[in-house]
Amino acid sequence: MNIKSLFENKPRLKHVELLLLTKYLAVLLRSGLPLDESLEILSKQTKKRKTPLSLILTGLIGHIRTGKTLADGLLEYPKTFSLVYVNLIRAGEASGTLQDNLDQLVKQLEKEHDLTQKIRGAMMYPSVIMLAGLVIASVIVVFILPQITGLFLSLKVEIPLSTRLIFWVSDTIRFKWPWLIGGGLVLGIIINVFYRNKKTKPFFHAFFLIIPVLGKLIRQINLARSFRLLGTLLQSGVSISEAFEVTISVVRNLRYRDMFEEMKQGISKGGTIAAVLEKHANLVPPIALRLVDVGEETGTLGEMLLYLASFYEDEIESQTKSLTSLIEPFMIILIGLAVGWLAISILMPIYTVVGSI
């Protein structure tokens, strides 16, 4: 990669746009149209000119008509077409099963979209509640409490610790907010530096996996994505070594990436995937180990991996629903405690004055 390529403004498609492009291209090719004509039809369907989709289609048509392969053309747009996508297209072009591989890509993209939507949906409710709580608390602390601070100080009674703490928080936010923002930015930068550091990043990834409830969900997400990816590649005719290479480049959690790297090395030495999985019982449940073992013995590894991916995707859906149900009462209790603490802290000095009278 040269310096010039780093600054090129390549067009980029959204996930839904990529899904639709792949689906329409698969339909056109299955109808018997040649590749360049199919791309030409899709290009004419784009109503607006110079959109990312039209620019990408125009570039791909140019590549095809100069004798290059579709996979080579896709490599020009790395922000849109991942290594998984390119390798599946390349395998399809080499084996004459491009339409079938496009169908596999459609399924892969649909599953990724569904999985992302499930995770976002599970996090939406607690995020909204947290945001609403912070907004309400900020309004009370910044605008309401300062109005009664002078009143309490003029009562000449001993102010309880909880009330003094609220007043301190209010004064800190009102008068020292630049320091709070600066401190938050510095803390965020420090955490980000440690998270991205090669020496400390594995610690964070290992810690995420042992968090109660959330750790199980993270393990299921990694298994669902990696198994579906690996299974799709194997089913589409990609060699097992190349399939592992692509999977390793896509897996985000370093613990799972190391596990797949170990699988790749084990296979190159004549070993089995199941033998490696046995060493990582904390990352892969026994059911997955057993099914992978059966898949290797019967020659249906790709099918077994896709079955496991579907199984864990269903587990993720169930887990996210359970997580949402668990978070709801917790958030209600937390907000109730905060409101109760605030009310008591404000009312206690008033009761003290009334009692002294």
CA distance 168 to 159: 12
Are residues 111 and 75 part of one domain?
A: no
Residue where one domain finishes, among candidates 81, 116, 135: 81
Instruction: Answer yes or no: is 102 within a domain.
Output: no
Residue where one domain finishes, among candidates 47, 81, 115: 81
Instruction: Answer yes or no: is 196 within a domain.
Output: yes
pLDDT given at position 236: 81
pLDDT greater than 50 at residue 2: no
How many degrees, rounded to 5, is the angle at CA 252 between CA 251 and CA 256?
Answer: 65
Tell me how far CA of residue 49 lies from CA of 13, 31, 37, in angstroms.
15, 27, 19
User: DSSP letters along 279-298, please?
Assistant: GGTTTS-HHHHHHHHHHHHH
Are residues 35 and 150 part of one domain?
A: no
Are residues 343 and 239 part of one domain?
A: yes
Instruction: Answer yes or no: is 88 within a domain.
Output: no
pLDDT greater than 60 at residue 5: no
Average pLDDT over residues 227-234: 88
pLDDT given at position 1: 39
Instruction: Answer yes or no: is 98 within a domain.
Output: no
Amino acid type, 16: V
pLDDT given at position 6: 41
The residue that leads in pLDDT, 347 or 277, is 277
Which residue from 323, 135, 141, 118 is spatially nearest to 224, judged by alpha carbons? 118
Instruction: Answer yes or no: is 254 within a domain.
Output: yes
CA distance 2 to 7: 10
**Percent of the chain with pLDDT strictly greater than 90:** 7
pLDDT tier at 3, thresholds 50, 70, 90: very low
Are residues 176 and 119 part of one domain?
A: yes
Q: In the numeric block, which tokens belong to residue 111?
A: 């599953």
Q: Which domain holds residue 239?
A: 107-357
pLDDT greater than 70 at residue 80: yes
Are residues 202 and 75 part of one domain?
A: no
Which residue from 113, 105, 76, 106 is spatially nearest to 89, judged by alpha carbons? 105
Number of domains in the chain: 2
Average pLDDT over residues 218-232: 89
Residue where one domain finishes, among candidates 81, 98, 117: 81
User: Is the separation of the CB atoms in 306 and 297 below 8 Å?
Assistant: no
CATH number, domain of 23, equals: 1.20.81.30
Are residues 215 and 160 part of one domain?
A: yes
Instruction: Answer yes or no: is 228 within a domain.
Output: yes
pLDDT given at position 186: 93
Are residues 201 and 56 part of one domain?
A: no
Are residues 14 and 123 part of one domain?
A: no
- Helix 301-356 to helix 214-235 angle (10° resolution) is 160
User: DSSP letters along 30-63, please?
Assistant: HTT--HHHHHHHHHHH--STT-HHHHHHHHHHHH
Tell me how far CA of residue 105 lies from CA of 40, 61, 100, 245, in angstroms.
21, 20, 9, 18
Residue 94: partners with Cβ closer than 8 Å, 6 or more residues away: 237
User: Is the separation of the CB atoms in 250 and 84 below 8 Å?
Assistant: yes
Q: In the numeric block, which tokens belong to residue 279?
A: 């060493």
Average pLDDT over residues 191-198: 86
Summarize pLDDT for 268-312 with one digit per residue, the tens.
Answer: 888 888 888 888 888 999 889 999 999 998 989 889 998 998 898
Average pLDDT over residues 15-44: 88
pLDDT given at position 185: 92
Are residues 151 and 37 part of one domain?
A: no
Contacts 24+ apart (CB under 8 A), 55-64: 55/11, 56/11, 56/13, 56/80, 61/36, 64/35, 64/36, 64/39
End-to-end CA distance of the chain: 81
Range name among 51-55, 123-127, 211-215, 232-236 with the lowest pLDDT average: 123-127
SS3 (DSSP) at 75: coil
Are residues 314 and 201 part of one domain?
A: yes
Q: What phi and psi, each to the nearest 5 degrees, are found at residue 9?
A: -95, 80
pLDDT given at position 157: 65
pLDDT tier at 49, thresholds 50, 70, 90: low
Summarize pLDDT for 141-177 with one digit per residue, the tens.
Answer: 777 777 777 666 666 667 778 778 888 887 887 788 7
Are residues 176 and 217 part of one domain?
A: yes
Are residues 183 and 308 part of one domain?
A: yes
Report the chain's mean pLDDT, rounded to a whole number: 83
User: Is the separation of the CB atoms in 209 and 255 below 8 Å?
Assistant: yes
